[in-house]
Amino acid sequence: MASRSLAEAAVPGGASGFSFSAAAGPLPDEVAADVAAACRPGRASILSLPFTSPAFRRLQEETEACLRRLLDIPDRFRVLFLAGGASAQFALLPLNLLGTACRASYVDSGCWSRRAIAEARRYAEVSIAARALAAIPDAAEWQVDPGAAYCHVTSNETADGLQFRDFPALPVPLVADMTSDLLTRPLDFTRLSLVYAGTQKTVGTPGLTLVIVDEHLLGRARPETPRVMDYGAQAGADSRLCTPPVFPIFVAHHMLQWIEAHGGVSAMADAARRRSDAAYAALAEGEGTYAISVDSAHRSHINPCFRLADEARTALFLNAADAAGLHDLRGHPEVGGVRVSLYNGVADAAVDALVDFLRAFARRGSGPCAA
């Protein structure tokens, strides 16, 4: 009972209403129910499934097979199931990919790419291939260092609301941080050499990081790379060089099956497009109340970000949204403003409620707004 009240107290606004949190996506109700059922006490609980058991191996194989079907991943790519979060990859990428080179190119597109760049600078000479702030420059204008071991992009800037629609063909391997948009759209693996993502937003729950890597990039890790962080070593051990994150893999398996049963990544892309279009349309109608800095061609379908035209009204907006049951809309602390997160598990009803609220708040103009 104590832990139940702790969990309820931990949810701002209580368990009712809808969360638009950027940090973690909600699980669809049926996925959450299946996961909860598998946590039952006893020997068969998923919470104590040994990673050495045949049952776990089957789970991992099925999870990988489902991921491969959904994203049409070519055979030459390996799928790694790692712990440590996407931020750990910021360091592991240079450690694993630089080889004898010491240079890497990065696209600076906002908050998360800058964190990746800062970490990479501890290991590599980093050059900025392009700056993509309110808009993404055409790839023909990028200045990718031809001697770079790789070029890194953040496919969806979670904090800034800017998203790459597609990926260019580059003279060096292209690496994408897809932590906030993996499995929200089809991918072209003829353009990408490595994709990584923490699974907490679009693929399940925190604790698992997926790395999908062209095997040509394996075997280049620097000697000082911790062995459990060496992509090649983990690929050779089927990601079981140490205990893998069993429970998040189980949740990802259920989420992947849910995505497949609901039309796959094309259907997720259509839903993201439809839902973000509805949010952006309501924001455009409320011009004068809301302002968006990202160019319309590059606005995120997953994390629409905006500001109140009168920034002093941001707290009023957020409080009114909370009171209306629309939670976790505050922008990233480094960016401010308001951020809507439309991950795969967000219900259409949540988006409808948000759109109604955006319209109602704008109609109230500068007058008092209690709800």
Ligand X SMILES: Cc1ncc(COP(=O)(O)O)c(C=O)c1O
Catalytic residue flag (residue 177):
yes
Nearer to ligand X, 174 or 324 (CB): 174
Active-site position among 142, 181, 201, 230: 201
Work out whether 87 is an interface residue with ligand X (CB under 6 A).
yes
Kindly tell me which residue out of 51, 62, 85, 114 binds ligand X, with binding defined by CB under 6 A.
Answer: 85
Nearer to ligand X, 179 or 234 (CB): 179
Residues 135-194 that bind ligand X (CB under 6 A): 154, 158, 177, 179-180
Active-site position among 142, 145, 160, 177: 177
Smallest CA-to-CA distance from 43 within 58, 34, 55 is with 55
Q: Distance (Å, rounded) from C-alpha 137 to C-alpha 139?
A: 6
Q: Cβ of residue 299: shortest distance to ligand X, in angstroms? A: 16
Nearer to ligand X, 201 or 324 (CB): 201
Binding mask 98-137 for ligand X (x = CB under 6 A): --------------x-------------------------
Q: State the Cα angle at 196 between 192 and 199, rounded to 5°.
A: 140
Number of residues binding to ligand X, judged by CB under 6 A: 10
Catalytic residue flag (residue 112):
yes
Smallest CA-to-CA distance from 217 within 127, 152, 154, 156 is with 152
Which of the stretches 11-19, 84-92, 187-195, 273-281 binds ligand X when contact is defined by CB under 6 A?
84-92
Smallest CA-to-CA distance from 210 within 172, 159, 248, 158 is with 248
Determine if residue 359 is left, alpha or beta; phi over 0 gives left, psi from -120 to 50 gives alpha, anything else beta.
alpha
Work out whether 314 is an interface residue with ligand X (CB under 6 A).
no
Q: Distance (Å, rounded) from C-alpha 113 to C-alpha 111?
A: 6
Q: Cβ of residue 75: shortest distance to ligand X, in angstroms? A: 27
Residue 358 host element (H or E): helix 348-363
Reduced to 3 states, what is the DSSP secondary structure of residue 35?
helix
- Burial grade of 192 (CB within 10 A; 0-12, 13-18, 19 or more): buried
Tokens of 18: 């809808």
- Asked if 264 contacts 185 with a C-beta cutoff of 8 angstroms, the reply is no
Work out whether 199 is an interface residue with ligand X (CB under 6 A).
no
Q: Cβ of residue 362: shortest distance to ligand X, in angstroms? A: 28
- Residues making contact with ligand X (CB under 6 A): 85-87, 112, 154, 158, 177, 179-180, 198
Which residues are designated catalytic? 112, 177, 201
